[in-house]
């Protein structure tokens, strides 16, 4: 766990504000006929223009891994996360499209910046009431997780709040093999932030200066996932539709702040 310095918090808050605006602008591009590659190219342009660097492009879990090839994770329908943007994937009416985006900011040669991470799932034109509810529930789960992200609460409290809310809304798959995480000095840091109650995390208390990424991942079917044919995309094993929303949260002394809030969202929890 990394407690961020005051300067790091200041830069993370600034970075999150920029990234939230970028994601809001990308969401407006998401219409039938556009390719995920076109959205990805625009995302990279906006990040670079803002003085940042795409956090995911070139990312490796380990030195032996191939680097991730695109700026955004561009996941469509039953793809949950980590799908690469592609020239041959064109959005069509009725799709749901998840954009997961991260940024290192400020980016200067030989100088390490700070990381923020956020995601949204967008309907492409009209979708069914069932899908609309899936999006509402996943977004609502994120809001419940944010409410639980207060100093003195535990990481387990976040997962419990998300799980209880989702279960109260109907029968949904709460993905268990992928979780939220700490963020800031690196793209991924401890602690892991599950979207379900994990008693073992009850002792991991939230402290001022912690920065975490909360990201509910919910499906209309089973919670089970698998790796897609391209070796990158993580998709629902039963091919059910799924949604993903994410924000970077800064834990304060009395409350918490949503660093990556978009212009139409509330900044404080």
Q: Look at residue 268 and tell me whether its pLDDT is greater than 60.
A: no
Whether pLDDT at 266 is above 80 = no
Contact 184, 230 (CB under 8 A): no
75 forms bridges with which residues in the sheet? 98
* Residue located via tokens 């990381």: 115
Helix (H, G, I), strand (E, B) or coil at 23: helix
pTM for the whole structure: 0.96
Please name each of the domains of the chain with its CATH number. Answer: 6-258 (3.90.230.10)
When pLDDT is averaged across residues 191-212 and rounded to a whole number, the result is 97
The answer to whether 181 is a known ligand-binding residue is yes
Coil, strand or helix at 84: strand
| pLDDT for 62 | 80
230 known ligand binder: no
Confidence category of residue 267, pLDDT binned at 50, 70, 90: low
Q: End-to-end distance of the chain based on CA atoms, in angstroms?
A: 22
101 touches 26 (CB < 8 A) = yes
Q: Over the stretch 95-119, which tens digit does the pLDDT of each residue have?
A: 999 999 999 999 988 888 999 999 9
- For residue 89, what are its two tokens? 């994937």
Cα separation, 176 vs 245, in Å, equals: 15
38 is in an annotated binding site: no
What mean pLDDT do residues 231-238 have?
Answer: 97
Is residue 82 annotated as involved in ligand binding?
Answer: yes
Mean per-residue pLDDT of the chain = 96
User: CA Rg, the chain, in Å?
Assistant: 17
CB of 26 closer than 8 Å to CB of 42: yes
DSSP state of 174: E
How many angstroms separate the Cα of 77 from the Cα of each of 92, 124, 222?
11, 10, 14
In this predicted structure, the answer to whether residue 40 has a pLDDT above a threshold of 70 is: yes
pLDDT at 269: 47
The answer to whether 100 is a known ligand-binding residue is: yes
Tens digits of residue pLDDT in 112-153: 899 999 999 999 999 999 999 999 999 999 999 999 999 999
């Amino acid at each position: 766990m990394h407690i961020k310095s005051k300067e790091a918090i200041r830069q993370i808050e600034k970075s999150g504000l920029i990234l939230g605006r970028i994601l809001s602008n990308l969401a407006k591009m998401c219409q039938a006929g556009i390719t995920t590659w076109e959205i990805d190219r625009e995302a990279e342009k906006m990040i670079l223009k803002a003085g940042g660097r795409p956090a995911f492009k070139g990312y490796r879990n380990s030195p032996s891994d191939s680097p991730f090839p695109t700026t955004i994770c561009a996941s469509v329908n039953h793809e949950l996360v980590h799908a690469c943007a592609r020239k041959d994937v064109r959005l069509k009416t009725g799709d749901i499209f998840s954009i997961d985006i991260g940024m290192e900011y400020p980016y200067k040669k030989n100088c390490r910046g700070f990381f923020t991470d956020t995601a949204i799932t967008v309907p492409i034109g009209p979708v069914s009431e069932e899908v609309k509810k899936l999006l509402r529930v996943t977004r609502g789960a994120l809001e419940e997780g944010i409410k639980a992200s207060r100093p003195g609460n535990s990481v387990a409290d976040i997962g419990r709040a998300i799980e209880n809310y989702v279960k109260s809304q109907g029968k949904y798959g709460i993905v268990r093999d992928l979780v939220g995480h700490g963020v800031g000095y690196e793209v991924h840091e401890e602690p892991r932030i599950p979207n379900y109650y994990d008693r073992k995390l009850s002792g991991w208390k939230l402290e001022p200066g912690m920065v975490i990424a909360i990201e509910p991942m919910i499906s209309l079917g089973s919670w089970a996932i698998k790796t897609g044919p391209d070796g990158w995309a993580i998709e629902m094993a039963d091919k059910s539709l799924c949604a993903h929303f994410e924000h970077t949260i800064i834990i304060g002394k009395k409350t918490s702040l949503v660093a990556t809030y978009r212009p139409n969202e509330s900044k404080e929890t």
